[in-house]
Structure 1
Amino acid sequence: MSDSTSETQSRKRPWLALALTLLVPGLGHAYLRLWLRSILWLALYVTASTFVLPDDATPGELSVDAFVAASEAVPLEAAAVVLGVSVVCLVDVYMMTSHVNNRLRRASGAVTVCPNCGNEIDEDLSFCHWCTTELEESEA
């Protein structure tokens, strides 16, 4: 198996991480194998839901009327807190997916890095477009 094949198998899909996080906050982080973040986000969501939502916001039975009554019992401030935790978790899982994929690309050697500033550079250039350091042919 070549390096590019193993890199594509290791790359994480941002859309899948986002979809898993929409189902259960923290599940997208578990997909990325960020176990501590996954547990922390799930705990934050459960804690926010437990302490912010009133007791009568839980439906007593599985019917449409019970769910409508439970949703009407949720104050706007409580819904905003729970929604805010979910949105911040979605942003975090997207950013972490990008970070994990960049780390995988750098580890596979598919990225050329400037020896001066450490930023990713274009292989076609003879200088770093970040810090303008001239590159030798062997580095590029």
Structure 2
Amino acid sequence: MTGLMQTNNIPQVAMAFMNDVHAEEAELVNRLNELIEQHKKDPSVEAEIDQAMMEWIEHTVAHFERENRLMQETGFPAYSIHAEEHDRALAALNLLHKNWREQRDIVVLAEYVQINWPQWFHDHISTMDTVTALFFQQSGLTV
């Protein structure tokens, strides 16, 4: 899929299931970004933006819960640090969603989706997820 996040440019980690989840998330954010761009010409897409945001949040919650559970099950030493980063990212996403619902500020939404999130996503995968995936692989995790 072309768009904000090229799935072939997402850093790859040692566990295929994590790469798949990252690609899914990028596609959800790309869809949301398409709607943000469409909103500039047609504000009537706000209901579609609401739906796209909910899909992204639900996917992110499931993504983080699964990763956190697997880190605990495998005894990943940096679990608390990684899980806290998930908590921070999810809190930021929930705040963004709350602000969008209350204020409908497309500029704030666009800034997060187009600038803040892609940088966080890339950095998180390149650091925490890379180390976590290697640990999963070395511990023999199969998913």
TM range (shorter): 0.3 to 0.5
Larger RCO (CA within 8 A; separation ≥ 6): 2
TM-score where L is the length of structure 1 = 0.40
Larger radius of gyration: 1
